[in-house]
Amino acid sequence: MKGRAGGERGKTMRQQALCDEEVAGAEGFDRAEVIPLHEEAEEPRPARGMRRAGWLLVACGLALLPWLYVLATGLPATATAAHWPVAWVGLDALEALGLIATGLLAARGDRRHALAAAATATLLVVDAWFDTTTAAPGGDFATAVAMALGAELPLAALCGRLALRTLSRPA
């Protein structure tokens, strides 16, 4: 600990090594025994539920990849917004990337999955919002609501839960 005068705790690693060498060279000692200050902790294996959630997210992200093709080829070419298909394909591509990254990080037990999960949850909510608010009345709107309630919002809730659960625990 810094701020303490003297004592082993106030010394830097170099000072500690010099002290060990002095002890080793002193009379009456055959050799000095170096005791590490702390042991390297092994990374704990993620809980089974966390691994399952991770792999579920990876599967969902991979399942989105064919949907990107459907969007790229099926969105109307005549829209009031410029680059309409590019906007939707780009958003869903970011969601797929976020789900895959979150899932892989969670499955490995890497705490950084919370960051990817938070970003992915946000993207999914934004997608649900824009799908439902830009859909034409009738079948398009029903499809947008079904996708929002059946896929996008539940996945956003899962990602949000993973992020909050991880961030609420000490490192």
pLDDT, tens digit (0-9, with 9 covering 90-100), for 30-80:
555 666 666 666 667 888 899 999 999 999 999 999 999 998 899 887 768
Residue bearing the bigger pLDDT, 85 or 152: 152
- pLDDT category at 27 given cuts 50, 70, 90 is low
Report the pLDDT averaged over residues 80-92: 89
Report the pLDDT averaged over residues 164-170: 87
* Residues 6 or more apart in contact with residue 65 via CB below 8 angstroms: 96
pLDDT more than 70, % of the chain? 74
Give the pLDDT confidence score for residue 23 in this predicted structure. Answer: 52
Give the pLDDT confidence score for residue 81 in this predicted structure. Answer: 80
Least confident residue range of 5-9, 20-24, 80-84: 5-9
- pLDDT category at 4 given cuts 50, 70, 90 is very low
Q: Angle CA(59)–CA(64)–CA(66) in degrees, nearest 5?
A: 115
CA distances from 88 to 14, 94, 136 (A): 57, 10, 15
Q: In this structure, is the dihedral angle defined by the CA atoms of residues 75, 79, 95 and 130, taken in order, positive or negative? A: negative
Give the pLDDT confidence score for residue 80 in this predicted structure. Answer: 80
Give the residue ranges of DSSP H helices in the chain.
Answer: 13-25, 48-74, 84-108, 113-134, 139-147, 153-167
Give me 82's structure tokens: 């410029």
Give the pLDDT confidence score for residue 123 in this predicted structure. Answer: 98
Q: Are 125 and 148 in contact (CB under 8 A)?
A: no
CA distances from 156 to 12, 49, 124 (A): 47, 17, 6
At residue 6, does pLDDT exceed 80? no
* Residues 6 or more apart in contact with residue 148 via CB below 8 angstroms: 128, 131, 132
Report the pLDDT averaged over residues 8-31: 53
pLDDT, tens digit (0-9, with 9 covering 90-100), for 99-132:
999 999 999 999 999 999 999 999 999 999 999 9
Look over the chain and give the mean of its residue pLDDT values, rounded to a whole number: 83
What's the CA gap between 103 and 113, in Å, rounded? 7
